[in-house]
Amino acid sequence: MSDMATNLEDKKISKNFIELIVEEELAAGKNGQRIHTRFPPEPNGYLHIGHAKAICLDFGIAENYQGKCNLRFDDTNPTKEDVEFVDSIKEDIHWLGYDWEGREFYASDYFGKLYDFAVELIQRDLAYVDDQNSEAIASQKGTPTEAGTFSPYRQRTVAENLDLFQRMNAGEFAEGSRVLRAKIEMSSSNMHMRDPIIYRIIFTPHHRTGTTWKVYPMYDFAHGQSDYFEGITHSLCTLEFVPHRELYDWFVNQLKTDDYAPRQIEFNRLNLTYTVMSKRKLLQLVQTGVVDSWWDPRMPTLSGLRRRGYTPESIRNFVDKIGYTKYLALNDISLLESSIREHLNQIATRVMAVLNPLKVVITNYPEGQSEELDTPNNPEAPETGNRMIPFSREIFIEKDDFMENPPKGYFRLFPGGEVRLKSAYVISCHDFKKNAETGEIEEIYCTYDPETKSGSGGIQKKVKGTLHWVSAPHAFKAEVRLYDRLFMDENPDGHKDKDFTEFLNPDSLKIMPNCMLEPSLKTADLSQKFQFTRLGYFCLDSMYSTTESLVFNRVVGLKDSWTKQQKG
Ligand code: ATP
Ligand code: MG
């Protein structure tokens, strides 16, 4: 076994098929045992959880085999790209825990070299300018079982092609009026080999190269060559690029001067249930105001997941669990949710917040008095210690934790009933006040039993229900946002006759404006995660919180409510 593999051995995780290929090549001494990958985002949108799968693989392979991973922006289409996206992509990769060690490259860095290579192909009679528009070219492509037909411009002389290509780049011809095509084989069984378009005319200025260029390389003409220029050994991409591989290799073979060539390997992309993942569709959700931004907490973008309260660890764990194969899959979003639940269970501080406050007056507790009660910050992490929470004569509980006429088996509060207040006392209800007109319960009256103080060695009286609560004079008001899945259909993208927007969940955001929170949450910061007792995991919202008014997001509930619903 090559000692290059030791990092992986230490981690004791099973190897995926790409790691096995890498190890075989290392053992065979290929590329001087050099491992060099790249992550190649197009800066036309924010990164999503699917990209995280690619990032973990590209950077992970480099990390595990003492290699390098470049960040390369695939910025070949100025009409869709923007620096806003470049910045967000870098931030998201760092957040996930990876670094490109200064190797930040752009396909546009190679526009000069790519242009020269195109000129060389023309000189070798391997490329020609076609004066037809894209529809005409498509109509001559043939079908997988029928050869295509030659373009009437295929036999142009080298001199004419050189002249036209240079004038295309000088801006002499309108967008769409001419393209440069590779001259390969119109009868190839691979449609991508049938004289593919390699350059098109675009007048939109480029976010990095301005108006220097009027011709821009197609993805297929830029990608493999950029890999080659950077010395990439393993060009990892998703399965839809399988049919592009022959063309990738063809271009690299025209370019290479020795043994070295980058190798494209394809893996299955991440698709999530109840989610759309294409950047075009995510952009549509932003532009039509369905969500508040690319980083809306309901978006599957990394910035959305971050704002929602997902941790990078939970995302890396999830990606690890689903693995890398050659088979298309639709991954269950509940697996992602259980990953974050698992992590937050370890790290979240347990606090109390009441979303729908109902006032409880403890009639035998002295007016004007209060006390501090001891409560653990996180029983899963005893080293986080305890903190004190205030208790007093007036507290809030959840409205639906009280019922005037409870059904059998109701273990919360009702007239004559008893419950424990978490980390406090047992209380029993003796009266309540009801609004005569609306019938709404306005206040309830209880007594507490001073002998039942939690954790004090007092009487650990057996009661069936435990409620969360906050002390009314000490609590503060905040907004809490509850999220649900953005789509109600398992595969919103998978319907031929219906648009994905038809499956939007109208209840994906529920705003609770009048929640009462325990005072320790006043100083919450964005790095902290909380478990609100009985309600789920929460964190501060980075967009709407101000120093005067805090807004909290629910990351995820304590249990998988969807699976439960489906079963019962
Ligand atoms: P989209 O379809 O969302 O627009 P894209 O493939 O056009 O995605 P790029 O910015 O070109 O987006 O992707 C950068 C890298 O991330 C590519 O290597 C691509 O294969 C990979 N990638 C994109 N989506 C996924 C996904 N769902 N699962 C795994 N890898 C992905
Ligand atoms: Mg792409």
Q: Whose CA is nearest to atom 27 of ligand 1?
A: 50
Q: Clarify whether 269 is annotated catalytic.
A: yes
CA of 374 from ligand 1 middle (Å) equals 49
Residues 6+ apart with CB under 8 A from 459: 449, 451, 452
Ramachandran region of residue 113, left (φ > 0), alpha (ψ -120 to 50) or beta?
A: alpha
Task: Tell the residue number behind the tokens 């929470």, with chain if given.
Answer: 389
Work out the angle at residue 528's Cα, subtended by the Cα atoms of residues 527 and 531, and round it to the nearest 5 degrees. Answer: 150
Give the residue from 504, 505, 507, 510 showing the smallest Cα distance to 553: 510
Distance, in Å, from the CA atom of 232 to the CA atom of 35, rounded to the nearest integer, reads 8
Question: Can you give the pLDDT at residue 13?
Answer: 63
Residue 399 in contact with residue 467, Cβ under 8 Å?
Answer: no
Work out the angle at residue 536's Cα, subtended by the Cα atoms of residues 534 and 537, and round it to the nearest 5 degrees. Answer: 135
Give the residue from 376, 394, 401 showing the smallest Cα distance to 386: 376
Which candidate in 38, 90, 263, 279 is catalytic?
Answer: 279
Q: Whose CA is nearest to atom 23 of ligand 1?
A: 51
Q: What is the DSSP string of 475-524?
A: -EEEEEEEE--SBSSS-TT--SSS-GGGGB-TTSEEEEEEEEE-GGGGG-
CA of 11 from ligand 1 middle (Å) equals 27
In a mutational test of the pocket of ligand 1, which residue from 49, 51, 265 has the highest number of ligand atoms less than 8 Å from its CB?
A: 51
Residue 218 in contact with residue 180, Cβ under 8 Å?
Answer: no
Question: Can you give the pLDDT at residue 562?
Answer: 67
Strand order in the sheet with 104-106: 36-39, 68-73, 104-106
> So where are the chain's domains?
18-267, 272-349+478-567, 353-468
Which candidate in 15, 30, 34, 42 is catalytic?
Answer: 42
Chain centroid, CA 111 distance in Å: 31
Question: Can you give the pLDDT at residue 14?
Answer: 85
Which candidate in 30, 269, 387, 399 is catalytic?
Answer: 269
Ligand 1 atom closest to Cα of 40? 14
Task: Tell the residue number behind the tokens 């005569």, with chain if given.
Answer: 436
- Predicted confidence pLDDT, tens digits, the chain (568 residues): 344 444 555 554 689 999 999 999 999 999 999 999 999 999 999 999 999 999 999 999 999 999 999 999 999 999 988 889 999 999 999 999 999 999 999 999 999 999 999 999 999 999 999 999 999 999 999 999 999 999 999 999 999 999 999 999 999 999 999 999 999 999 999 999 999 999 999 999 999 999 999 999 999 999 999 999 999 999 999 999 999 999 999 999 999 999 999 999 999 999 999 999 999 999 999 999 999 999 999 999 999 999 999 999 999 999 999 999 999 999 999 999 999 999 999 999 999 999 999 999 999 999 999 999 999 999 999 999 999 999 999 999 999 999 999 999 999 999 999 999 999 999 999 999 999 999 999 999 999 999 999 877 666 678 989 999 999 999 999 999 999 999 999 999 999 999 999 999 999 999 999 999 999 999 999 999 999 999 999 999 999 999 999 999 999 999 987 664 444 3
In a mutational test of the pocket of ligand 1, which residue from 46, 238, 284, 285 has the highest number of ligand atoms less than 8 Å from its CB?
A: 238
Distance, in Å, from the CA atom of 309 to the CA atom of 235, rounded to the nearest integer, reads 32
CA of 278 from ligand 1 middle (Å) equals 8
Work out the angle at residue 350's Cα, subtended by the Cα atoms of residues 348 and 354, and round it to the nearest 5 degrees. Answer: 120
The neighbour count for residue 502, using CB atoms within 10 Å, is 12
Mapped onto helix, strand or coil, the DSSP state of residue 362 is strand
Element (H, E) at 564: helix 561-567
Q: Cα-Cα-Cα-Cα dihedral of 543, 340, 343, 10, to 10°?
A: -120
Is beta strand 179-182 parallel, antiparallel or unpaired with respect to 127-130?
antiparallel
Ligand 1 atom closest to Cα of 277? 3
Report residues whose beta carbon is within 6 angstroms of any ligand 1 atom.
40-42, 50-51, 53-54, 74, 237-238, 269-270, 277-279
Q: Whose CA is nearest to atom 25 of ligand 1?
A: 50
Distance, in Å, from the CA atom of 335 to the CA atom of 318, rounded to the nearest integer, reads 7
Distance, in Å, from the CA atom of 200 to the CA atom of 114, rounded to the nearest integer, reads 13
CATH number assigned to the domain covering 353-468: 2.40.240.10
Element (H, E) at 37: strand 36-39
Q: Clarify whether 279 is annotated catalytic.
A: yes
Could you tell me which residues are beta bridge partners of residue 375? Answer: 387
Q: What is the DSSP string of 404-440?
A: SSPPTT--SB-TT-EEEETTS-EEEEEEEEE-TTT--
CA of 42 from ligand 2 middle (Å) equals 6
Domain 18-267: homologous superfamily in CATH: HUPs (3.40.50.620)
Ligand 1 atom closest to Cα of 238? 20
Exposed/middle/buried for 145, CB within 10 Å: 0-12, 13-18, 19+? Answer: exposed
CA of 163 from ligand 1 middle (Å) equals 37
Distance, in Å, from the CA atom of 416 to the CA atom of 404, rounded to the nearest integer, reads 10
Distance, in Å, from the CA atom of 316 to the CA atom of 314, rounded to the nearest integer, reads 6
Question: Can you give the pLDDT at residue 459?
Answer: 64
Report the first-to-last Cα separation within the chain, whole angstroms: 51
Alpha-carbon Rg of the chain, whole angstroms?
31
CA of 41 from ligand 1 middle (Å) equals 7
Question: What pTM did the predictor assign?
Answer: 0.93
Q: What's the token pair of residue 454?
A: 């939690």
The alpha carbon dihedral of 235, 236, 240, 243 has a sign of positive
Instruction: Return the CATH number of 272-349+478-567, one of 1.10.10.10, 1.10.1160.10, 2.60.40.10, 1.10.390.10.
Output: 1.10.1160.10
Residue 61 in contact with residue 18, Cβ under 8 Å?
Answer: yes
Residue 480 in contact with residue 554, Cβ under 8 Å?
Answer: yes
Q: Clarify whether 194 is annotated catalytic.
A: no
Distance, in Å, from the CA atom of 80 to the CA atom of 45, rounded to the nearest integer, reads 9
CA of 313 from ligand 2 middle (Å) equals 26
Distance, in Å, from the CA atom of 194 to the CA atom of 181, rounded to the nearest integer, reads 9
Strand order in the sheet with 476-483: 349-351, 530-532, 536-540, 551-556, 476-483, 509-517, 353-354
Q: What is the DSSP letter of 255?
A: H
